[in-house]
Amino acid sequence: AKHEIPWTDPSVKDALTTLAELWGKPELIAGGADGALQTEFPASVTQTFTGGDQPKGAMVFEGDFVSINIAQTEAKIGTDAKVFPFPAVGADSPVVTGGDAAVALKDTKGAQALLTWLASSDAAKIWAEAGGFISPNKGLDLKAYPNDVQRTMAQALIDAGDDVRFDMSDQAPQSFGGTPGKGEWKILQD
């Protein structure tokens, strides 16, 4: 992730081979590899929380933003839809997250004011109340989140301090992960 080793390094190959072994087991992936490749993201979430005693999936690995998709089902966040920390690797137990950034293309007073406001607890409160958003802003009252699950996730993010890790989708160069049919896409399809 720090671009200190090439994507052809044996450790990367081993990690992707392990993923391929897991994803190659039809009993672990709804519809097997072909089904996974043909399932759009929103459906991968809702299929986990519909179907009564026979949902198509038992678990979905995603972020807090899936609460929007779960809300399209009868599942209740915190009761039917729960979370657990990403499994530790060795002694480290980092919080794995995705991230977004705001960028000013021109250095103006207005742009600086907007960026300052976006970093404020007032802005974070608006997003938190809407759901599907977790903020590292320590000044945000956790009561702003719509449910206990999101409050727990937000507290974990804050408590992690410097032990936060961005997931691969936020760290891979575009040429590896962002071009359909090439790079990571091709590796995962094969």
Q: Domain of residue 123: give its range.
A: 87-190
In a domain, residue 154? The reply is yes
Q: How many domains is the chain partitioned into structurally?
A: 1
Q: 10 Å Cβ neighbour count for 38?
A: 9
Q: How many helices (H) and strands (E) does the chain have?
A: 10, 2
As a whole number of angstroms, the distance between CA 174 and CA 153 comes to 28
pLDDT at residue 30 tops 60: yes
In a domain, residue 163? The reply is yes
In a domain, residue 116? The reply is yes
In a domain, residue 44? The reply is no
pLDDT at residue 118 tops 90: yes
Query: For the chain, how far is it from start to end, CA to CA, in angstroms?
Result: 22
In a domain, residue 79? The reply is no
What pLDDT, in 10s, does the model give residues 145-178? Answer: 998 889 999 999 999 888 888 887 777 777 666 6
What pLDDT, in 10s, does the model give residues 53-76? Answer: 888 888 888 888 888 899 899 999
Cα torsion angle, 97, 155, 133, 33, sign: positive
SS (H, E, C) 28-55: CCCCHHHHHHHCCHHHHHHCCCCCCCCC
- Indicate the range of 27-41, 90-104, 152-166, 175-189 predicted with least confidence: 175-189
In a domain, residue 25? The reply is no
- Indicate the range of 33-37, 57-61, 118-122, 152-156 predicted with least confidence: 33-37
In a domain, residue 19? The reply is no
pLDDT at residue 187 tops 60: yes
As a whole number of angstroms, the distance between CA 156 and CA 120 comes to 19
Which has more confidence, 19 or 102? 102
In a domain, residue 77? The reply is no
Q: What is the helix (H) or strand (E) element at residue 166, kind and residue range?
A: strand 164-166
